Amino acid sequence: MKLHEIETEHVLTALKPSWHVKPITADRTRQRLERIFDAAKALKLRTGENPAAWRGNLKHLLPSARKLNRKKREVTGRTKGHPSVPYAKAPALMVELSHDIGNSARCTEVGILTAARSQEVRLMEWSEIDFARKRWLIPAAKMKIKGEDNPKDHLVPLSDQAIDIIKSMPRVGRYVFPSDHADQHQPFFANALANSIKRAGFKATMHGMRSTFRTWAGDTTQIPWEVLEHCLAHRVGDETEAAYWRGDMIERRRKVLQAWADFILPKRKAKARKPTLSLVEPAA
């Protein structure tokens, strides 16, 4: 079929056979189709609505891929999450990563320090970094927030250690962490950061390291859960609750992310001393 001939019913027919069998893979296929049709419309190769769009279209015709995948794991007993490193071993992982001279190791370090998703840190651009305010602004287009159909820009406070690593990268091209193996200035593929962790002698994914951060914060600090959820760029509560959390909690998140950085990657020049930063939040 030609691009201008394809309608929602054709996309639906193509997706249905795999939607209930491999829901996540099928949804990724749908997302790629959506981008293709968007490009076709921009190039004036077709008009009208996007036949692969989810909102206002396929969302009403297909069950949620994530919910299907969750039910599938519950039925099969495969409910284990992404492999992670116990937080007590996270400092050892950072030591091993420091011996890896590749850009992927530096990218992995910053991803762990910021508790960011793999895609977000791999696609980090120089234009997104505010060194003066020690912040990283992730555009909405790069965000993947569970439960959010329309994600917003996400502001990430950068610890001193994260700033040092970023500044150590040569400022060439668009991306802070270009691939070591690409012919042109391109970001890493999705598995590059997990491979860096594997080379360091640990079995974990970047998503698993986000769990490591969350477990550490829950076990060793008294920072409220909503602040920690903001650190992970998770949606806090339902739409009604979210309306009351309009602030970005940037300074409260900076506090916990700096403490996390000091735990897993102590500043080399700093002398051993008792921590002066209290992670106990004042009572409401």
pLDDT at 261: 96
pLDDT cut 90: percent of the chain above it: 58
DSSP alpha helices (H): ranges in 170-264?
192-199, 206-220, 225-231, 239-242, 250-264
Percent of the chain with pLDDT over 70: 82
Cβ contact 176:125 at 8 Å:
yes
| Calpha distance 174→157 (Å, rounded) | 21
Q: List, for residues 238-254, the tens digit of each pLDDT value.
A: 444 444 444 568 898 99
**Beta-carbon neighbour count of residue 78 at 10 Å?**
8
Instruction: Tell me the pLDDT band of 181, cut-offs 50, 70 and 90.
Output: confident
**Residue where the block lists tokens 């903001």:** 230
Q: Which two tokens stand for residue 239?
A: 């739409």
Domain boundaries, the chain: 3-76, 87-264
CA distance 231 to 42: 36
pLDDT digits (tens, 9 = 90+) for 117-134: 999 999 999 999 999 999
pLDDT band at 43 (very low <50, low <70, confident <90, very high): very high
Coil, strand or helix: which one is 96? helix
Query: Among 75-84, 180-189, 197-206, which stretch is predicted with the lowest mean pLDDT?
Result: 75-84
Report the number of secondary-structure helices (H) and strands (E) in the chain: 12, 3
Question: Has residue 167 got a pLDDT over 90?
Answer: yes
For the residues 22-32, what does the mean pLDDT come to?
90
Q: How many CB atoms lie within 10 A of CB 155?
A: 17
Which residues 6+ apart lie within 8 Å of 48 measured at CB?
Answer: none
> Are 104 and 194 spatial neighbours (Cβ–Cβ below 8 Å)?
no
Helix 250-264 and helix 90-98, axial crossing angle in degrees, nearest 10: 70
Torsion of CA 125, 52, 190, 119, to 10 degrees: 30
Fold category of 87-264 in CATH: hpI Integrase; Chain A (1.10.443)
Question: What is the pLDDT of the chain when averaged over all its residues?
Answer: 84
Taking the C-alpha atoms of residue 1 and residue 212, their distance in angstroms, rounded to an integer, is 48
pTM of the model: 0.65
Alpha carbon distance 82, 60 (integer Å): 30
The pLDDT confidence band at residue 190, using thresholds 50, 70 and 90, is confident
